[in-house]
Structure 1
Amino acid sequence: MKWLFFVSLLLTIRVVYAQLEEKSAVKAQKDLDWYNCSFEADHVYGAAINKAYQFLKNKKGKSKPIVALIGGGIDWEHEALKNNIWTNPKEKPDGKDNDRNGYVDDLHGWNFLGAADGQVMEKLMVEGDREFLRLKDKYGSYFFDGKNYFKYVNGKRVSLDPPADMDEYKYYQHIVMPSSRLCSEYGSLLFANVLREYVQIFDKQMRDRNPGKKSFTVEDIVACIDKNSPRDSLRDIALYLMAWSMNEKRGDDKAWEGTYNYYFGDKAEKRMKESYERVLKENGTDLRKEIVGDNYMDINDRIYGNNILLTLNSEVNTMVAGIIAGRRGIEGRNSPIAENAQIMNLVVSAESGEPYLKDMALAIRYAVDHQVDIILLGEQNTVYPREQKQWMIEAIRYAESKGVLVVVPTWDLSFDVSQLVFYPNRWMDGGKDLTNLLVVASSDKAGNPSIASNYGIQGIDLFAPGVEIFAPNVGDTYKSASGPCLAAATVAGIAALIKTYYPQLTGNQIRDVLLKTVSSRKGVEVQKNCRINGRMSEDLFLFEQLCQSGGIVNAYQALVEAEKIAKKNKK
């Protein structure tokens, strides 16, 4: 029956992250396990895990560290994982809340997207769309022409006072709007009022300037703008759109007439309304209220979900778990990093959309309360609402207070993270750093960053192998894939290996060790994608310009340093 289920699952499952690409070519085991290798022995920039095991050869593990995967589901019965799945010691599979934590039968973790009747959310909205719907009535109708605030009522301008909460308004304008397709479509719908207003202004100006002229050209409409007049950003956008429309009809002596009728009548507005309503229908709900039933804006409303961990979104985390934990040296499989690590799975992600910050914050607290050592989150986000960001800060601080390391992958989006802020990050509290948070980017065999990786000294801590990584896949299968989540799994696995032999080290100590002991790539010039004025480009960088440590994680050097600290602490 299990195989029948997985055949169905594999037919319907899709890769969650666009950067995960299946590789079908047959490779030698050494090539499949390249992330275990070292440059000294194998001439590839792996994480020196094989060399680390040589160092550990005569040492005895002292603990079985728990690693919490906070993201998608997991195939916890996979042949490579089933012996390394965490089991709640205070829970029984009897339909009761034996440990009285509010979660019934949370044997191996918890699904924060589930319902008591067994349903699971398969789609989530993106955070930008959620925030747009929350703030739409407050700021959605605001226009600003560079000087005044106003809105349209029955097609006429009505002056408005500046927003009372200017920080929130700027957040809506500069963070929510670029992140929300819904917001973009809604803005286009409202902009029909601007276009209707300016098409009348331009028409009058052209007729006043050209008495008796019956047809107008692009040059005529451009001539309406006095270059010495105060800048009006809305006018300029309207001019561009109308000039473009006329240019498309160049040679037609009724080009302006058609443009005028389109924008002055209801055709443009009707088309924009249809587009907005279509996108709203597709993306404006994810059935959380109907399935989960909680208030996602209330952090104290925490008893919800179910214990279903194998979801349609289980591919990524199954691979991540298989990189971190399991038995090494089995031909045909990958060699995991930390043989004794245990995997706890906390589901907050679906097949599409972005996790709710409430779910993530509660998942972090659940993990810490159940004595995890390392937490691995999903990729960062640029949209972090104020109140919900505070939930995440407090949850990560709670992990910090209990000695738990939190690892988070950045995105492969080619952003300089000093120019566009991604969360969570070390400085998000606005005061003291979050000393237990580690942000990871992806590198390849040659020691080069992923071509599309985010970068920046102030936001990225180190790089780790994450390109063409071989690992378990759902249904007792295996595959090679690429992505920053796999690089973060490499780091989490090394952290678990350190914790196995040096359990007294805290999360912030392990973070410091990992940063201090990288395979240095300082002085090496690399080529990668970047964004310049919003456009994708390529440029050359020194590796130390890409991350704080200037290198790639090195398990062997980290363990050597960990032993030094452990010996020093004994004295």
Structure 2
Amino acid sequence: MKKTSTLSASLLVALGVSLALPVSTLAQNGPSTSIASFDKALVNWYNLSPEVEQVQGVSVNRVYQELLPTRTPKRKMVVAVIDSGIDILHEDLQGRIWTNAKEIAGNGLDDDNNGYVDDVHGWGFLGNAKGEDIKFETYEFVRILRKLQLTYGHYPSLQKVPVAKQQEYKQYAAAKKAYDEELAKQQKNQQSLANFSQVLAKVEGIIAQHLGKKDFTLAELKGITTASEDVLRARAWLVGRYDLGYTPYSFQRMLETSDLFLNQHLNLTYDPRSTIIGDNPEDIQDRQYGNSNVTGPRPDHGTPVAGVIAGVRNNQIGIDGIAQDVEIMALRAVPQGDERDKDIALAIRYAVDNGAHIINMSFGKSFSAQRSLVDEATAYAESKNVLIVHAAGNDASNIDEAANYPTKKRTDGTLASNWLEVGANARLLDENLCGEFSNYGKLTVDLFAPGVDIISLAPGNQYHKMDGTSFASPVVSGVAALVWAYYPELTAVELKEVLLASTVQHPKQKVYQPNLASANKRKVAFTALSKTGGIVNAYQAMLLAEKKVAEKGVKN
């Protein structure tokens, strides 16, 4: 899932930058081998309770402490994580990775005849049988433009296009507009970053000369005392940048991502799909591709998503995931760039056919070229009693109005009844409760969940602090798995209704409406930002699930 940045909004304004980064980079510093390096108040805060600890977590610890000491779950839950790839060897996911019991690892055969060879822990839809994998992709509007520009590029207006072709021309025109705007923005960003780099180099050179060393700490910077006005000015400027959110790590990530935007995401000639996979991305029947590598070249996004859901609890290392009796089915279908609708549709169908109860989808885009493929797949999941949980996105947009795919609303106007759309909230009950990046929508976003300052897993037995609805979505998936393990008598739709009806409400709380583009913040009621106006709560959901199941005449 794209959008929002690794630096604070105030620093971005100061830089003149509107650069969008993958959610997995939304941290000021790099990964750490231990959670001890993070603020203790942030570790596992999403598991805490508004009633007990006065933070806006989802009361998971309270469930385990008060409701479940003498109970055992009725079933093991399988949550399919459709994402960028997962480090299934991570120390905090051991015993939590789904295994296809019908498949014999490494024998090169499709033992269970499900169409996938050696799919022991899931499937990678971004590679080929030779082990080659797609890491970067273009945006969907780039692919649409590339496909249609030769046909429609010479038409001056819609009126000149034959009536039978006007709908396709509109898609072309929208893609062209998005491309032109994004390209101009990223070129401007690149220049702003280059200008900042020049000033930064000069300032750091002055400080390095004063201190007699090139590498210095923030404490050493702040401790400088001198009569030199040049050094004091350099010190003040650099300290000011740190105060706004600058770190060398985050700025380097911005530089790298700026190059990525221009060289891959927005490059009309970049087409890794044709060289690595060679399929027809528009034909759902052309499915003889992929490989059993569920980690892939960029597990930096799917790994923390899996950690929030299923990180081993109380093992004295790392974090505590939400659901204890759960296995993660790893489905790699999201490159760095926009995912293909066909891959997502096939991943959904794989999850349903291979026993997933819940599908977590922490990705999104503004165009959908083969939307019907995903609509058909979600309808299939709906028919098979599978719950879908989707991250609302990180554009600070009202997605009642702005396009955001995939979506619960299908092309025929019907709504997927098994779908939950999730926005991101912060830890404290104040005006910053809603994540400044989070998409919202009174009609489209169902509820909120913790997605700010989330500490979760990073590849290679590391940990990282991140922001994004990408991490709010697995909070809801984790809560859903926790509740459904004890109340499997509920259908997916009934479980969804339980989660919606049991949200924690803050009817008087005014919050800053997400708006990354403006320094002028506007306050709105938190209840106005989603359908329920509340935050998912595991404790209240368990109580309501108990009541619902009793009403169905089932004893627990």
Would you say same fold, with TM above 0.5? yes
Say whether residues 1:173 and 2:170 are aligned partners. Answer: no
The structure 1 residue matched to 2:495, chosen from 510, 514, 521, is 510
In structure 2, the partner of 1:543 is: 526
Say whether residues 1:115 and 2:128 are aligned partners. Answer: yes
SS state of the match for residue 399, structure 1? helix
- Provide, for residues 190-217 of structure 1, a one-character-per-residue CA deviation record: whole Å limited to 9, x for no partner: xxxxxxxxxxxxxxxxxxxxxxxxxxxx
In structure 2, the partner of 1:285 is: 270
Larger mean CA deviation between 477-486 and 360-369 belongs to 477-486
Aligned residues: 448
SS state of the match for residue 130, structure 2? coil
What does 1:288-367 align with in structure 2 at a 5 Å threshold?
288-350=273-335, 352-367=336-351
- Provide, for residues 106-158 of structure 1, a one-character-per-residue CA deviation record: whole Å limited to 9, x for no partner: 000000111111111121121111111122122222213xxx85xxxxxxxxx
Q: CA deviation at 1:31?
A: 3.6
Change over 3 Å in CA distance of 1:22–1:107 after alignment to 2: farther
Q: CA deviation at 1:52?
A: 1.5
Q: Distance in 1 between matches of 2:47 and 2:500?
A: 18
In structure 2, the partner of 1:103 is: 116
SS state of the match for residue 167, structure 2? helix
Q: CA deviation at 1:504?
A: 2.4
In structure 1, the partner of 2:253 is: none
Q: Distance in 1 between matches of 2:268 and 2:488?
A: 45
SS state of the match for residue 171, structure 1? helix
Q: Distance in 2 between matches of 1:473 and 1:161?
A: 50
Query: Is the Cα–Cα contact under 8 Å of residues 125 and 284 in structure 1 kept in the other structure?
Result: no
In structure 1, the partner of 2:553 is: 570
Q: Distance in 2 between matches of 1:101 and 1:182?
A: 43
Query: Is the Cα–Cα contact under 8 Å of residues 29 and 332 in structure 1 kept in the other structure?
Result: no
Say whether residues 1:454 and 2:460 are aligned partners. Answer: no
The structure 2 residue matched to 1:70, chosen from 82, 105, 123, is 82
CA RMSD in angstroms comes to 2.4
Q: CA deviation at 1:279?
A: 8.2
Say whether residues 1:380 and 2:364 are aligned partners. Answer: yes
Change over 3 Å in CA distance of 1:469–1:562 after alignment to 2: same
SS state of the match for residue 309, structure 1? coil
Q: CA deviation at 1:339?
A: 1.0
In structure 1, the partner of 2:164 is: 164
Query: Is the Cα–Cα contact under 8 Å of residues 362 and 473 in structure 2 kept in the other structure?
Result: no
Which amino acid in the other structure matches residue 119 of structure 2?
D
SS state of the match for residue 128, structure 1? helix
Q: Distance in 1 between matches of 2:40 and 2:515?
A: 34
Say whether residues 1:390 and 2:372 are aligned partners. Answer: yes
- Provide, for residues 46-80 of structure 1, a one-character-per-residue CA deviation record: whole Å limited to 9, x for no partner: 01111121212222111111000111111101111
- Provide, for residues 292-311 of structure 1, a one-character-per-residue CA deviation record: whole Å limited to 9, x for no partner: 12111111101211011222
Say whether residues 1:85 and 2:97 are aligned partners. Answer: yes
Q: CA deviation at 1:558?
A: 0.6
Change over 3 Å in CA distance of 1:28–1:285 after alignment to 2: closer
Q: Distance in 2 between matches of 1:404 and 1:306?
A: 24
- Provide, for residues 77-102 of structure 1, a one-character-per-residue CA deviation record: whole Å limited to 9, x for no partner: 11111211000111001111101122
In structure 1, the partner of 2:59 is: 48
SS state of the match for residue 493, structure 2? helix
Say whether residues 1:17 and 2:23 are aligned partners. Answer: yes
In structure 2, the partner of 1:471 is: 456
Larger mean CA deviation between 55-64 and 364-373 belongs to 55-64
Say whether residues 1:58 and 2:41 are aligned partners. Answer: no
Query: Is the Cα–Cα contact under 8 Å of residues 132 and 183 in structure 1 kept in the other structure?
Result: no
- Provide, for residues 371-394 of structure 1, a one-character-per-residue CA deviation record: whole Å limited to 9, x for no partner: 100001132222012xx1111111
Higher Rg: 1
Q: CA deviation at 1:19?
A: 5.9
Q: Distance in 2 between matches of 1:28 and 1:113?
A: 36
TM-score norm. by structure 1 comes to 0.74
Query: Is the Cα–Cα contact under 8 Å of residues 529 and 536 in structure 1 kept in the other structure?
Result: no
Query: Is the Cα–Cα contact under 8 Å of residues 418 and 458 in structure 1 kept in the other structure?
Result: yes
Which amino acid in the other structure matches residue 352 of structure 2?
V
SS state of the match for residue 438, structure 1? strand
Q: Distance in 2 between matches of 1:279 and 1:475?
A: 26
Which amino acid in the other structure matches residue 385 of structure 2?
G
Q: CA deviation at 1:529?
A: 3.0
In structure 1, the partner of 2:140 is: 127
Q: CA deviation at 1:331?
A: 2.9
Q: Distance in 1 between matches of 2:553 and 2:426?
A: 38
Q: Distance in 2 between matches of 1:356 and 1:281?
A: 16
Change over 3 Å in CA distance of 1:364–1:65 after alignment to 2: same
SS state of the match for residue 151, structure 2? helix
What does 1:208-287 align with in structure 2 at a 5 Å threshold?
282-287=267-272
Q: Distance in 1 between matches of 2:363 and 2:275?
A: 27
Unpaired stretches in structure 1, ≥5 consecutive residues: 1-14, 150-159, 186-276
Query: Is the Cα–Cα contact under 8 Å of residues 504 and 535 in structure 2 kept in the other structure?
Result: yes
Q: Distance in 2 between matches of 1:327 and 1:525?
A: 36
Change over 3 Å in CA distance of 1:280–1:328 after alignment to 2: closer
Which amino acid in the other structure matches residue 455 of structure 1?
Y
Query: Is the Cα–Cα contact under 8 Å of residues 133 and 297 in structure 2 kept in the other structure?
Result: no
Which amino acid in the other structure matches residue 383 of structure 1?
F
Query: Is the Cα–Cα contact under 8 Å of residues 334 and 471 in structure 1 kept in the other structure?
Result: yes
SS state of the match for residue 526, structure 1? strand
Sequence identity percentage: 36
Q: CA deviation at 1:528?
A: 2.8
- Provide, for residues 135-186 of structure 1, a one-character-per-residue CA deviation record: whole Å limited to 9, x for no partner: 2122222213xxx85xxxxxxxxxx455433333223323x2243359978x
Q: Distance in 1 between matches of 2:23 and 2:503?
A: 27
